[in-house]
């Protein structure tokens, strides 16, 4: 089955690419392993130079790369530009700090000398999604490459042009041939890649279902695995929240990228004192969102990435309404070409509805009315997911106390959940395990080696 680049705003095919056969995959894996062994011997200064060159190229060619993102997965062009800029920032971050993160740590013992060394693990297979087609790949590649690993990119099949562009960026910026390789393979070939002796670890950002399959395969072959999976992030609005700020951030967190983000706010859990006013202000803002051509800089909501994703979202919404949720605005596919869905709000969502239990991966805000602050906390944790979370209150000391009780990989107080190269990123429960970014993310794919000398 070919990899197809299809414009979700028009439903028109841009280009198709032939998938590799088993022989092509095997040759690429062998080449990457040999290239990695040489790359691991290069000085940190050389690795940092490659990343700095990549950062400069990303910024200089931003208006070349951003349209690729928009045309393949539909996000508004202004958001695609921001994504490219963020990729440059993660390259700069590891170019600046990577050597420090890999520095050996002396440890006092009965030895005359003992320390913990960090060495590259080898070849990392990165299985990446379509929703942030540049950022997810650079987020995985930058620390791995700086550590001396090689990276194999198995990108989502609907963003092949983005995958090829990323490979070209690293090649043009001085990375040795084979150290970063885009695998034009199908999902069914992933198990073959994981099983290869030339692959030493796997990182996946994707669905819960994909995570289970990859983790099982990696476990079977005793390969290190990091999973960043779905989320149903709670956005807890307490009675003393700054409503202007809170609604502003609610809009950004739910509707950026057409709501197709694992760390988007998906469950707005609101206490009684403020629920009606919060809903009123949110509805007013949602009703005027501009839906349309994502190549137009005035567009705020582009299409969803695929028809099947839009159709499944609508099934979740329709069934939730049938189960008692209230459609406040939207809650229908948009008419015309492309995979558009109206910006929507579901109110009165209860435990009897699909929207309570499932991740809604699209432009739908779910309002859950809590009975109290304690009830809001209970609802926040009443999910199998645990990626991000946020609390909105003027009493930041109280909010910080509540943050410690939320079962998630991150909690933001009066701020929108986002990934930041300086901070570790990842989840708990069905949202996965392991961390990306910061020094913790870099150390996921190194050999933490004890050296002891008499």
3-state secondary structure at position 452? strand
Q: Of 91, 217, 262, 331, which is the active-site residue?
A: 262
Q: How far apart are CA 143 and CA 357, in angstroms?
A: 34
What whole-number distance in Å separates Cα of residue 353 and Cα of residue 320?
5
Strand arrangement of the beta sheet that strand 265-270 belongs to: 326-329, 344-347, 364-369, 265-270, 233-237, 390-392, 412-413
The answer to whether 331 touches 346, Cβ cutoff 8 Å, is: yes
d(CA 217, CA 301): 37
Which of 72, 83, 167, 228 does the annotation list as catalytic? 228
Structure tokens at 5: 């680049």
Q: Are strands 12-17 and 3-7 parallel, antiparallel or unpaired?
A: antiparallel
30 catalytic per annotation: no
Cross-strand pairs, 268 = 235, 367
Give me the residues paired with residue 448 across strands: 118
User: Measured between alpha carbons, how far is 104 from 116 in angstroms, rounded to an integer?
Assistant: 5
Encode 193-257 in three state secondary structure. HHHCCCCCEEEEECCHHHHHHHHHHHHHCCCEEEEECCCCEEEEECCCCCHHHHHHHHHHHHHHH
Task: Tell me whether residue 167 is one of the annotated catalytic residues.
Answer: no
* Inter-axis angle of helices 62-73 and 44-60, nearest 10: 70
Neighbours of 106 (CB within 10 A): 10
CB 133 within 8 A of CB 159: yes
Q: Which residues are catalytic?
A: 228, 262
């Amino acid at each position: 089955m070919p990899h197809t680049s299809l414009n979700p705003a028009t439903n028109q095919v841009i280009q198709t690419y032939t998938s590799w056969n088993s022989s092509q995959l095997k040759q690429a894996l062998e080449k990457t392993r040999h290239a990695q062994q040489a790359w691991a011997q290069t000085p940190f200064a050389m690795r940092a130079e490659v990343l700095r060159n990549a950062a400069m190229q990303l910024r200089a060619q931003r208006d070349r790369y951003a349209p690729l993102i928009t045309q393949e997965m539909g996000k508004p062009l202004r958001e695609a530009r921001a994504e490219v800029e963020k990729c440059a920032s993660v390259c700069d971050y590891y170019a600046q700090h990577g050597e420090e993160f890999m520095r050996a740590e002396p440890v006092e013992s009965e030895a005359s000398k003992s320390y913990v060394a960090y060495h590259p693990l080898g070849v990392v297979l990165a299985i990446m999604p379509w929703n942030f087609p540049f950022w997810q790949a650079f987020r995985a590649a930058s620390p791995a490459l700086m550590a001396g690993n090689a990276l194999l990119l198995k990108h989502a099949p609907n963003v092949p042009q983005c995958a090829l562009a990323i490979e070209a960026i690293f090649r043009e910026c001085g990375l040795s041939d084979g150290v970063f390789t885009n695998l034009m393979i199908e999902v069914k070939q992933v198990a073959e890649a994981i099983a290869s002796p030339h692959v030493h670890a796997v990182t996946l950002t994707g669905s819960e279902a994909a995570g289970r399959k990859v983790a099982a395969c990696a476990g079977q072959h005793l390969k290190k695995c990091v999973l960043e999976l779905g989320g149903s992030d709670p956005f807890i609005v307490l009675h003393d929240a700054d409503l202007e700020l809170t609604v502003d951030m609610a809009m950004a967190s739910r509707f950026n990228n057409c709501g197709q983000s694992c760390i988007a706010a998906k469950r707005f859990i609101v206490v009684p004192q403020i629920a009606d006013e919060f809903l009123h202000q949110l509805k007013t803002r949602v009703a005027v969102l501009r839906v349309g051509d994502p190549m137009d800089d005035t567009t705020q909501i582009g299409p969803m990435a695929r028809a099947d994703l839009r159709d499944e979202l609508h099934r979740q919404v329709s069934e939730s309404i049938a189960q008692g949720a209230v459609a406040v605005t939207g809650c229908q596919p948009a008419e015309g070409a492309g995979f558009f869905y109206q910006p929507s709000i579901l109110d009165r969502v209860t435990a009897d509805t699909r929207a309570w239990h499932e991740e809604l991966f699209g432009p739908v805000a779910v309002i859950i009315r809590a009975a109290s602050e304690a009830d809001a906390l209970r609802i926040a944790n009443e999910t199998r997911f645990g990626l991000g979370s946020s609390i909105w209150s003027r009493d930041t000391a109280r909010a910080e106390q509540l943050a410690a009780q939320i079962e998630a990989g991150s909690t933001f107080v009066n701020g929108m959940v986002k990934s930041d190269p300086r901070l570790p990123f990842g989840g708990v429960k069905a949202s996965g395990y392991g961390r990306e970014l910061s020094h913790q993310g870099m150390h996921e794919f190194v050999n933490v080696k004890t050296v002891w000398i008499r």
